[in-house]
């Protein structure tokens, strides 16, 4: 699938990569017998890496025999993932992905990879990806490396196709690729980087139905924005947040599809935007997106936790800025009527909250929303049962603290049941286009 934003991923030393301090993070080829190394990044990004290796094979003159056609692995671009790599004696390429960590807990996460292979054209490479022993809410989580895990490849960083991985013993994933040319990009999902978002903003900024407002800065000082589509005096308001977790690209594709659909034909859009306005925080975890991380911010924070209390602006400026914006909206009589936090996982469920206040009214609204979602989109997966509770999430925080009907929408990263296919960016964009009808129906009888 072709990325409509025409990314400059082929330009390896992008400004985004350099501003993230990418130099030195992930371009290490190990040749010693054993290496103990520590990535020295920002708080929440310091992790000891232990790599035990075989001694390289040599010829009679003592020269190391090159066992692989691999030339280099490049990660110095927007969303390139930090890693270590090594060519083993059997020619396989071991790729040690780096975890990101949560402040003040033992939680760690690794679900993302995005790098560029440089190798001899016509060659075949076998990659072995490691470090998928994640810790989620204090428990070992093995759901990010499974038999269902898919991968994407692209020769130019623009046109992507999916390939299957193979689960190996020890929570490793094997990926086999063929080099039609010297270059091949490899990614967990079809990428959407900060450069994509900047191109989208430039595309829509001057449209009469669009207003882009900066509401704060990330931990590393990148601007956080709210994109409004529609009129400030619309009868109803929808708020959508995407990319709270950096690897979960689905939300960016969804909001891009929604935005483009709502502004593509102003006459038809009036039908929708006379009824509601959409407010979007398109990339909440920008720093970690640029750095090619998985879950936590570079401040070591999970942006989908601790919504039961005010965010610490020192370590969590992303949520603090959003809270301030929500409070200002409410102060001016513009409380969102519906809020959705879009994520990715391996199931694709809606996660409705179970607040301690107004539970019956909230659940009635959420059940009604799910029925409308089934009617107008390819969604079929279902919702978590009433016994499910994940305290401190975005959904529960917005319901209990701000009186906003809110929930989490997890898009399945490996399979779309309603379309019977693996998910490409264009499939999630389609969902975004379909959501405009969902919101229209949802507010019809309010």
pLDDT of residue 332: 98
Condensed to tens digits (0 to 9), the pLDDT of residues 55-65 reads 777 767 777 76
Q: How confident is the model at residue 66 (pLDDT cuts 50, 70, 90)?
A: low
Q: Over 70: is that where the pLDDT of 148 sits?
A: yes
CA separation for the pair 53, 85 (Å, rounded)? 11
Q: How far is CA 50 from CA 37, 81, 84, 292, in A?
A: 7, 18, 10, 21
Concatenate the DSSP letters of all residues of 121-158 into one string: TT-EEEEEEE---EEETTEEE-TTSSTT-EEEEESSSS
User: Rounded to whole angstroms, what are the CA distances from 128 to 92, 94, 206?
Assistant: 7, 5, 46
Mean local confidence (pLDDT), 305-328: 97
The pair of three-digit structure tokens given for residue 358, joined into one six-digit string: 């107004």
Q: Which domains does the chain have, with CATH numbers?
A: 15-187 (2.60.40.3120), 194-442 (3.40.630.10)
Task: Look at residue 2 in the predicted model and tell me its pLDDT.
Answer: 52
Percent of the chain with pLDDT over 70: 86
| β partners of residue 412 | 345
Phi, psi of 12, rounded to the nearest 5 degrees: -70, -40
Question: In this predicted model, what pLDDT tens digit does every residue of 175-221 receive, in sequence order?
Answer: 999 999 999 999 999 999 999 999 999 999 999 999 999 999 999 99
Confidence of residue 89 (pLDDT cuts 50, 70, 90): confident
pLDDT band at 359 (very low <50, low <70, confident <90, very high): confident
DSSP state of 293: -
Determine the pLDDT at residue 305: 96
Match 């969303």 to its residue by tokens.
79
Mean model confidence pLDDT for the chain:
88
Distance CA 443, CA 440 (A): 6
Q: Which of 26-35, 71-80, 98-107, 278-287 has the lowest mean pLDDT?
A: 26-35
What is the rounded end-to-end Cα distance, in angstroms, of the chain?
A: 39
Rg of the chain taking only CA atoms, in angstroms = 22
Select from 318, 183, 188, 301 the least CA-distant residue to 241. 318
């Amino acid at each position: 699938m072709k990325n409509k934003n025409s990314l400059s991923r082929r330009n390896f030393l992008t400004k985004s990569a350099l501003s993230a301090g990418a130099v030195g993070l992930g371009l290490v080829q190990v040749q010693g017998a054993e290496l103990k190394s520590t990535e020295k990044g920002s708080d929440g990004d310091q992790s000891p890496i232990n790599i035990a290796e075989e001694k390289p094979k040599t010829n009679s003159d003592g020269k190391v025999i090159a066992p692989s056609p691999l030339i280099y692995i490049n990660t110095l671009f927007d969303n390139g993932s930090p890693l270590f790599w090594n060519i083993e004696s059997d020619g396989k390429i071991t790729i040690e992905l780096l975890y990101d960590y949560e402040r003040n807990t033992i939680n760690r996460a690794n679900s993302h990879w995005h790098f560029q292979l440089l190798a001899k054209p016509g060659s075949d490479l076998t990659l072995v990806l490691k470090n998928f022993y994640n810790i989620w809410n204090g428990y070992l989580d093995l759901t990010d490396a499974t038999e269902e895990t898919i991968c994407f490849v692209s020769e130019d960083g623009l046109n992507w196709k999916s390939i299957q991985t193979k689960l190996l013993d020890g929570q490793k994933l094997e990926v086999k690729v063929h080099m039609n040319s010297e270059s091949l990009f490899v990614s967990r999902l079809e990428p959407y980087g900060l450069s994509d978002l900047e191109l989208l903003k430039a595309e829509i900024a001057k449209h009469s139905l669009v207003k882009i407002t900066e509401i704060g800065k990330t931990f590393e000082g990148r601007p956080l924005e709210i994109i409004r589509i529609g009129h400030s005096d619309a009868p109803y308001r929808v708020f959508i947040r995407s990319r709270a977790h950096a690897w979960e690209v689905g939300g960016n594709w969804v909001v891009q599809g929604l935005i483009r659909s709502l502004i593509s034909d102003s006459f038809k859009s009036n039908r929708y935007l006379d009824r509601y306005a959409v407010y979007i925080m398109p990339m909440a975890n920008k720093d970690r997106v640029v750095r090619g991380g998985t879950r936590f911010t570079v401040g070591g924070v999970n942006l989908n936790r601790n919504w039961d209390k005010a965010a610490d602006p020192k370590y969590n400026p992303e949520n603090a800025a959003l809270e301030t914006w929500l409070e200002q909206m409410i102060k001016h009589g513009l409380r969102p009527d519906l809020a959705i936090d879009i994520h990715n996982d391996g199931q694709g469920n809606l996660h409705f909250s179970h607040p301690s206040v107004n539970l019956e009214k909230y659940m009635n609204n959420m059940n009604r929303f799910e029925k409308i979602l089934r009617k107008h989109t390819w969604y079929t997966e279902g919702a978590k049962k009433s016994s499910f509770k994940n305290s401190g999430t975005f959904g529960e925080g917005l319901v209990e603290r701000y009186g906003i009907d809110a929930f989490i929408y997890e898009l399945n990263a490996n399979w779309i049941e309603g379309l019977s296919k693996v998910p490409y960016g264009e499939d999630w964009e389609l969902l975004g286009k379909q959501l405009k009808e969902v919101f229209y129906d949802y507010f019809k009888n309010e």
